[in-house]
Chains A and B, each alone.
Chain A
Amino acid sequence: MSQGPFAFVAGLAGGLRTTARTMRRTAITQEYPDVLPDLPPRSRGVIALVEENCTSCMLCARECPDWCIYIDSHKETIPATTPGGRDRQRNVLDRFAIDFALCMYCGICIEACPFDALHWSPVFELAETDIRDLLHERDRLAKWAQTIPPPQPLDPAAPDPAELAASRKPARPARPAADGAAAAERPARPERPERPARAERPDRPPRAERPAGAERPERPAGAERPARPPRVEPTERSMPLPRPQTDDHGAEAPRAAAPGAPAAPEAAAAPEAPATAGEDATTQVLPTVASDPVATDGPGAQA
């Protein structure tokens, strides 16, 4: 009333006008039990299991913050298919259960699964009359897998999915095992900070054009770092996986470098070394593929 009675009355009339205008509009209520709600894409209703993808690796159960995932499995021996071959073993899933009385729907298990066996399903009607009935076994979890929606299309200007970008790169030849002999020279590593940054050598040829000889060929910038030792490559990794060219994964580089380099402390001492880490980046492409929605159009087809 400080601005006089007329402003006060005008304010009151404004309030009446607002509510009257709202009354003329249609109510936005969705009458839920009769009409199912319009759920947003990627709606997080319940966790579904694609059994075929599960390898009983237990990663989800170990990552679960409240330990609501139960996994039992046993190993089966697959006899050798060729004479003189070796018998193989594989995990067989016996039980996969999620206690939704404990689950807090954080989705960490879905992120953790390396084989896309767990997915968000938009189903949300989970009420039970007994809390013990909220422990759902694999058959129910697999039934929800039928409801996993296809992934959303990418935004118009979105970058290519990781698989596409990777597949366009030239294949990387297998590293010769002879490089491993030079691994003893590792202690020379501390000189690495003097190395020029990656952006300063754009003329570096793609790896496929380089000869895959036993000796490391001279690079344009090779003279500036004579002490750099050749890297050890695990010999059993025969598949030539692509390496990323962008620096987007630079933050992950030290982590990805660790498995490839036995002398992990030195690798960690050079965090801004995407070029070197890139040679081991096959390990870093895998999680990206696993968590990308485009890669997961499998479950719909498998289900």
Chain B
Amino acid sequence: MSVLEAVIRSVAVVAAFLVLPLLVGQTEHKFMAHMQGRLGPMYAGGWHGWAQLIADAAKFVQKEDVIPAAADRGVFRIAPAVALIPYMAGLAFIPIGDGIVGADVPASAFAVLAALGVGILGHLMGGWASANKYSMIGAMRGAAQLVAYELPMVLAVASVALAAGTLSLSGIVEQWQPWWLLWQLPGAIVFFIAALAEINRTPFDMPIADSEIVFGAFTEYTGLRFAFFLLAEYAGIVVMALLFTVLYLGGWAGPLAASLGVVWTLLKAWIIAAIIVWMRVSWPRLREDQLHRLAWVWLIPIALFQLALTAVVVVMTR
């Protein structure tokens, strides 16, 4: 890989990282509004408020960057970057078409999961450095949530990798067949729920539960740093939706896959993101103990059952 190619790939990943979360955010604006009988943004940009999130970004840039007096300044400042960068790294490993991937590595499924696990460090650092009890509680909730849900998620991904016989995401898509939808269904459900919990989306948004602990680890953040945390949340939706598409929905598989592969991947991922938004509008937040009960009593046994089922089928068919 030449330097030029590396630069082009990096720029493409960064561009996707900046555009796709905005698309998801706009989808959320509009879906949420219409599901609540409203219209949502209608002015920014002219046509149905398409530029609302760009206007929001411009607003965040202008805001004062406040750091609390008691805060650990250095940690407080780099925490948003620590929360944001892992999602960008994860995005680079996810293929969206045949051979269209930021960085093609052999064990890309492993690499994506490893990168996503780092994101919570940003929340922990921000929550600790803010010197605020709500930030602290939010960060601790987020960490406990990640520990609880990382396990079923990894087990579910392991099941798919076992079925495909490879840890490469591109390889998994190539091996994928439609009947896997049924075969891997329990694992897909577990993965989806665990992904929701990892990116702190409703009904698993206790780390930022605004009715209980203000805004969790982001309570003391303002301006651009706060916007980075928000961008990390929507980048998380993008990464998780793409990952779900690649692992369970066959990625770019579909009619005219040779020329329309990227469109299929993005369309499937967009539908997944829309479902995530739909859930946010429809459901209330779980209690903290219910969250952990769900993970340990339901998800992990189901994931283990899926792993055993996959192993039995693989042994019998090969």
Closest-CB distance, A98 to chain B (whole angstroms): 33
A residues near B282, Cβ cutoff 8 Å? 12, 15-16, 18-19
The answer to whether A28 and B35 have CB atoms under 8 Å apart is no
**Is A36 in contact with chain B by the CB < 8 A criterion?**
no
**Is A1 in contact with chain B by the CB < 8 A criterion?**
yes
**Is A3 in contact with chain B by the CB < 8 A criterion?**
no
Select from chain B the residue with minimum beta-carbon distance to A27. Answer: B39
Give the contacts of A14-58 with B (CB-CB under 8 A). 15-16, 18-20, 22-23, 25, 27-29, 31
Chain A residues at the B interface, C-beta cutoff of 8 Å: 1, 5, 12, 15-16, 18-20, 22-23, 25, 27-29, 31
The answer to whether A22 and B37 have CB atoms under 8 Å apart is yes
The answer to whether B290 and A19 have CB atoms under 8 Å apart is no
Bound-state Cα–Cα, A149 to B70, Å = 60
A-B contact pairs, 16 of them (CB 8 A): A5-B298, A12-B283, A15-B282, A16-B279, A19-B35, A19-B36, A19-B281, A22-B34, A22-B36, A22-B37, A23-B35, A25-B37, A27-B34, A27-B37, A27-B39, A28-B37
Label chain A's interface by main secondary structure: helix
17 new A-B pairs (CB below 8 Å) besides A16-B278, A19-B282, A22-B37?
Answer: A5-B298, A12-B283, A15-B283, A16-B279, A18-B282, A19-B36, A19-B278, A19-B281, A20-B35, A20-B278, A23-B34, A23-B35, A25-B37, A27-B37, A27-B39, A28-B37, A29-B39
**Is B31 in contact with chain A by the CB < 8 A criterion?**
yes
A residues near B281, Cβ cutoff 8 Å? 19
Closest-CB distance, A56 to chain B (whole angstroms): 47
A residues near B33, Cβ cutoff 8 Å? 27
**Is B38 in contact with chain A by the CB < 8 A criterion?**
yes
A residues near B54, Cβ cutoff 8 Å? none
Select from chain B the residue with minimum beta-carbon distance to A18. Answer: B282
**Is B100 in contact with chain A by the CB < 8 A criterion?**
no
Give the contacts of B5-48 with A (CB-CB under 8 A). 31, 33-39, 42
The answer to whether B290 and A1 have CB atoms under 8 Å apart is yes
Bound-state Cα–Cα, A23 to B298, Å = 32
A residues near B283, Cβ cutoff 8 Å? 12, 15
A residues near B279, Cβ cutoff 8 Å? 16
Select from chain A the residue with minimum beta-carbon distance to B290. Answer: A1
Select from chain A the residue with minimum beta-carbon distance to B203. Answer: A12
Select from chain B the residue with minimum beta-carbon distance to A24. Answer: B34
